[in-house]
């Protein structure tokens, strides 16, 4: 399953917030066997969100959107998602019931915003906050709209996590205490011999990331490298 | 100046690495008055990088690419950038001279990769590492290719930082110790009255982010809010 992440927020683009939501979702999805193919960060602007959703939902099997739910005027994600999927943003029956049951905001007139979801959406409860999320199925993709507050996002993701189960891609890491340029031949040999991917990431030494869908091959390749690099 | 960031790396998509490079560049660019409008993360795949570069360089004034320079087979960023800009990847005279002068890799046969840049590129020296970066001008955009290792990326950005000077967008932050839903009217009033943007980010209380190009208006709006929210 090929997945895209869409992060909404001016503060992420300006670097005031580091995109830890995308990293957390990347790990959670990869662990379940989904393949995160793209992350896109856009500002809190309805038209820009709509364009991004249109494009991503036509190219990937699932799109997870985070950020821009809530009661303030810069929370325009639901409107953007609706527009991008050519759906109306409607006073949604299930969302209305959810807000009633869950209690909504202290300031009840803010609850209007929470009742509006794209037509045909499924309501996702917010166990750690107030604003509900949404899941929308299109002909090509499933689109999930989650909150931007990390604790709320994580709880809501757990609700839908099973929908991402797939062929697990396994990863092993080998640390090499050599310059990256010296490792090229061994990396190429490991790749070809075991039919795995090997990424190399310099930092404190070089981290070699062996991955593939065949666990035995990944393990054998990692072992082969471990025996041949300085550690 | 509207800017896009393109981060290259499987490990970022899988969440093994948090995209701190995009956050750092977001702050550095915003501080200089540039407007970061989009961040995109793509895998280490030449064709995908090429598509992303083509799209972003047609829509933004500048594109900053990080990651995937270096000597290993998963370092395909320069090839992707060249393809996306319809340029050849050539044995570049200045890059060849740069690698000679700077010393290149211990394992000299790896230096071949470092000499190849998109035709017509300007070489960007790597003060903290080995692989040089590149700057390429197109009819619409300037494209900068920087390393993924944060220390190298930051030093290389400083080399070109002056090219992003523009109208400064000023930001002030007000912390409110109230539920976000209670703040809506005051946020709307501040926006309209002072003609500024006001974002609101719940977490521990709510962070109100007042921004605009008129410093006096931003300051007055922040002050107006400070006097009217619980802190």
- The answer on B44 and B153 residing in a single domain is yes
C-alpha A122/C-alpha A92 separation (Å) is 9
- Position B37 in a domain: yes
- Position B203 in a domain: yes
CATH number of the domain encompassing residue B211: 3.30.70
Render pLDDT for B170-204 as a digit per residue (tens, 0 to 9).
889 999 999 888 999 999 999 999 999 999 988 88
- Position B231 in a domain: no
Tokens standing for residue A109? 């007139």
> Cα dihedral sign for B73, B77, B83, B87?
negative
What confidence score (pLDDT) does residue B71 get? 85
Tokens standing for residue A227? 């025996």
| B130 contact residues in A (CB cutoff 8 A) | 181
- The answer on B140 and B179 residing in a single domain is no
Choosing from B145, B164, B183, the residue where a domain stops is B164
- The answer on B155 and B101 residing in a single domain is yes
- The answer on A131 and A70 residing in a single domain is yes
At residue A85 the predicted structure's pLDDT band, cuts being 50, 70 and 90, is very high
- Position A14 in a domain: yes
Nearest CA in chain B to A12: B23
Mean residue pLDDT of chain A comes to: 93
Domain that holds residue B56: 2-164
Nearest Cα of chain A lies from the Cα of B139 at a distance, in angstroms, of 24
Tokens standing for residue A105? 């905001």
- Position B197 in a domain: yes
| B187 contact residues in A (CB cutoff 8 A) | 72-73
Contact A38 B179 (CB under 8 A): no
ipTM of model: 0.87
What averages of pLDDT result for each successive group of 10 residues across chain B (231 residues)?
A: 96 96 97 94 97 98 95 92 97 92 83 92 93 95 97 96 84 92 93 94 89 92 96 87
- The answer on B113 and B15 residing in a single domain is yes
Q: Are strands A2-8 and B133-137 parallel, antiparallel or unpaired?
A: unpaired
CATH number of the domain encompassing residue B48: 3.40.980.10
Interface probe for A, chosen from B25, B33, B39, B185 (most Cβ of A below 10 Å), is B39
Tokens standing for residue A153? 């996002």
> Which residue is associated with the tokens 């009742």?
A115
- Position A231 in a domain: no
| A72 contact residues in B (CB cutoff 8 A) | 180, 183-184, 187, 200
Nearest CA in chain B to A182: B107
- The answer on A201 and A216 residing in a single domain is yes
| B189 contact residues in A (CB cutoff 8 A) | none
- The answer on B22 and B119 residing in a single domain is yes
């Amino acid at each position: 399953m090929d997945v895209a992440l869409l992060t909404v927020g001016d503060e992420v683009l300006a670097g005031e917030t580091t995109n830890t939501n995308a990293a957390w979702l990347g790990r959670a999805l990869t662990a379940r066997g989904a393949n995160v193919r793209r992350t896109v960060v856009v500002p809190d602007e309805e038209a820009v969100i709509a364009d991004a959703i249109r494009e991503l939902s036509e190219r990937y099997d699932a799109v997870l959107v985070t950020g821009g739910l809530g009661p303030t005027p810069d929370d325009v994600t639901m409107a953007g998602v609706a527009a991008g999927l050519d759906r109306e943003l409607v006073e949604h029956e299930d969302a209305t019931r959810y807000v009633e049951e869950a209690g909504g905001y202290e300031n009840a007139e803010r609850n209007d915003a929470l009742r509006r979801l794209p037509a045909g959406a499924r309501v996702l409860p917010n166990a750690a906050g107030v604003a509900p999320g949404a899941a929308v199925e299109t002909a090509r993709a499933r689109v999930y709209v989650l909150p931007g507050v990390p604790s709320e996002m994580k709880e809501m993701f757990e609700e839908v996590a099973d929908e991402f189960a797939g062929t697990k891609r396994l990863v092993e890491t080998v640390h090499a205490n050599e310059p990256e340029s010296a490792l090229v031949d061994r990396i190429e040999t490991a790749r070809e011999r075991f039919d795995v991917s090997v990424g190399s990431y310099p930092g404190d030494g070089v981290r070699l990331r062996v991955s593939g869908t065949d666990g035995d091959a990944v393990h054998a390749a990692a072992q082969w490298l471990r025996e041949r690099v300085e550690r």
